[in-house]
Chain A
């Protein structure tokens, strides 16, 4: 058989797969053919579990380790058959949460954690790379077999270029059918149908080879059994530890391998398909394994001892001249490799683009994400090429000569580190992000140290000395004998330690961390997924009446816009009138329109009620509550803003009122000044005219008129002085002259200054000399001015028959009060509020020579001195209280 023929057959076969994928994709888009979505296709697509490792490597595995290869089939069968409820929950969660990958599952479960998504993606890439290398290696080896099998027919091809061609071809296929579009649910009908076809090809090929070997070569079941007994196979003992470890690892791998998660959960059309798969897939595995031991036994007895048992499936038919059967077997192996690689590449590309590229892109391009769809598609295409490139690099690096099964198991143990976080997350609400991250990272680290890095061989990555003595000579840290436990198989050793570390960290991390709200919500939705989901999402089984929907839409969008939307849709569907069919497409569009107005969750719940007639689910309610809370939050913020605005408005009104008041006060102040100045000027002018006339005036009158002019001129001066004084005090320009004085002296000075002659001389001043013996530090002249003012007022205004003024001094710590109480009729309550204002001379108590500035000046002075003055009502007469500090701090300045 020529190399060209082999290549041609491969190309034709690939073309055939392209055809199937393309046809299925088109049918699916047009509504599809029912059997394309049947449980059988689903079950067959699961067969990507059986890779080239299974196809070729199982025989090799059997000839080296006997029945142990069965563990790789028993694990998944147990999971599917016995624990399909785990799968069912995974599938249900996958649908209700629109999960796109195993990384997405874990990221979503732990509060949409970008970090966890990235970690899981990295582990998946690291764990899958050897596996892809394995597929490249097996396809390349199988090419080589044909070269060796027919010496001289064509030269042995250089293996590396072959591997490159194989990798490139697979990348093209995966890119073409795996990244045609970015779809919310990430389903790929074309790819799934193609791998289902490949599943049939590989099963058929392996069965054909098996039947030929048993009945065509060995001569029936009996002779085969004899050959098995005769071979070394029967004498290989069972390693109980390895069996348990491998069954566990392969079962767990079925749940969390990225490619298995893709076909099991993401590509799942209907969760009832699981029921079929739970018996059909174990059956498929059984058929795939039934001829493994016979082929191994016959191969070992017929072929030379140097023949690679991994290739018996090809070399046995070739040795018996069955070229066509060998070609079929080659296609079977080719199918196994391509289907695994393509699905794995698509799954990894989805994870890489969603959990590594997109978060980085969004954080780099803040605010301007650009064309995200293009970014995603490009990222996926590059990721597929990158994953296959990594596989090729690993293939070249690892030398391409290792046992297939060994590489597969190392890869499994790595990816399985994700399992505790995944399974724990869907069954245990207490699981937290910290626990998941700690478990996955620690487990992966132990795996890398004990199994992955040593797999390159002693002295390749980890130095030889490390294996013999441990790092820094610490014996119990040797990679393959942790804590001094020696003699264990390396795989068992790695599984035990990595899972122990993983689970312990997961549990402890979860127990000690308190989950964030989003994480708790997601946890509840995952763990209690059956309580609030109705299976498939979307509106495929709609029973909605367009009319009902229109009524609801009108209420939300407004009649005009709703009718336009419905009429437009009806036109698009080619229907007369304005009511369209309630197709799933239309319901989706309507939901988006409504979501723009009322929020996504509310829109979904409203349409759900009309379209499916379901009660609103807890999940919907929680989402609605979330939106309501957000709206409430907004309205609280609005309320706060509005309060702030009305507060500002009130302050503005108040300021305006004060300004108006000030303006009125200024006007009346000017009016008052005018009056107070004009009054003495009137007397002065009038009397000076009289004096100027001069005639008929006795000298006594002349004298008297001159005295009046003099008095009035003095009154004018006093008024101007008071005004200037007040102005200086009000504008804070008056310096204080501090000195230490005795209160008694100060009051004495004031009483004397107000004069014991003239009007008001009859006022009896009663003092408490003992209490007045207080030493003050203050501006004595200013304080005396205050006292003089108050006492002068009493002399002027006290209207009692025997006017009397009591001065009462009291100390309150560092403060002093001096009360001035007379026995007159006092100040009327309605006037008490204004006496300290300028020009507030109360008209009915008017006395010559007063402009009504005295108390205003007193108030200003006391403010400067750190004290105050107040009117004390209810003391019998007019009563003023002056409050003072014993020592004013303003003096220091």
Chain B
């Protein structure tokens, strides 16, 4: 079972923190900071799981998720959304688009690892 994660996140410090904890856990980590080209980046990198921020430059995480779910190649790809806007409305919206897991910032490192591991296991 591959453990390749793609981080779509525009905050460099957050990307660096996640890269460190995931790599330490044995994951292969790639990252992408731009919203507009994120869908293409997913097709190119073919990760096993995607961590998707909502507020991205160029394009919002919701739009990216919708496109991923519309594409047969990525329809079943596990996607965990991370957002600093933790309101109920945002969670419902993400779920209506078919998110695999929704997590608000700030997160605990342990929680991120457990979630991602369970997402690739199922």
Contact surface of A with B, Cβ cutoff 8 Å: 671, 674-687, 689-690, 693, 696, 701, 708, 711-712, 843-846, 848
Contact = CB atoms under 8 A, between A and B. Distances in A.
B58 A848 contact: no
A674 B84 contact: yes
Interface string B40-57: 000000000000000111
A845 B10 CA distance: 12
15 contacts: A674-B85, A674-B87, A675-B55, A681-B106, A682-B107, A683-B13, A683-B17, A686-B109, A687-B13, A689-B109, A690-B17, A696-B24, A708-B13, A712-B13, A843-B57
Nearest to B20: A690
B17 A678 contact: no
Contacts of A690: 17, 20-21, 109
Given A678-B86, A689-B109, 15 more contacts: A675-B84, A679-B11, A680-B13, A681-B105, A686-B17, A686-B21, A686-B106, A690-B20, A693-B109, A708-B13, A843-B56, A843-B57, A844-B58, A846-B10, A848-B12
Nearest to B35: A843
B26 to A, nearest CB: 13
Nearest to A696: B24
Contacts of B57: 843-846
A683 B24 contact: no
Contacts of A696: 24
A789 to B, nearest CB: 21
A288 to B, nearest CB: 114
A678 to B, nearest CB: 4
Contacts of B85: 671, 674-675, 678
Contacts of A676: 84
A686 B107 contact: yes
A684 B12 CA distance: 13
A696 B20 CA distance: 11
Given A674-B84, A682-B106, A708 B55 contact: no
Interface in B9-35: 10-14, 16-18, 20-21, 24
Contacts of B56: 843
Contact of A848 (B11, B18, B106): B11
Nearest to A670: B87
A683 B106 CA distance: 8
Contact of A682 (B24, B55, B105): B105
B104 interface: yes
A674 B105 CA distance: 10
A874 B11 CA distance: 32
B108 A685 contact: yes
Contacts of A677: 84
Given A674-B85, A678-B86, A848-B12, A687 B17 contact: yes
Given A690-B20, A846-B57, A678 B13 contact: no
Nearest to B16: A708
A594 to B, nearest CB: 68
A473 to B, nearest CB: 109
Closest 5 CB pairs of A and B: A678-B84, A686-B17, A682-B105, A683-B13, A682-B106
B115 to A, nearest CB: 14
Nearest to B90: A671
A711 B11 CA distance: 13
Contacts of A846: 10, 57
Contacts of B105: 678-679, 681-682
Given A678-B105, A678-B106, A844-B58, A686 B84 contact: no
A676 B109 CA distance: 20
Nearest to B15: A683
A845 B58 CA distance: 9
A569 B106 CA distance: 94
B86 A683 contact: no
Contacts of A679: 11, 14, 84, 105
A685 B20 CA distance: 14
B58 A683 contact: no
B82 to A, nearest CB: 8
A693 to B, nearest CB: 8
A368 B108 CA distance: 87
B1 to A, nearest CB: 24
B107 A843 contact: no
Contacts of A687: 13, 17
Nearest to A711: B13
A893 B57 CA distance: 45
A844 to B, nearest CB: 5
B7 to A, nearest CB: 12
Contacts of A845: 57
B97 to A, nearest CB: 19
Nearest to B36: A844
B109 A683 contact: no
A150 to B, nearest CB: 129
B108 A682 contact: no
Contacts of B11: 679, 682-683, 848
A679 B53 CA distance: 11
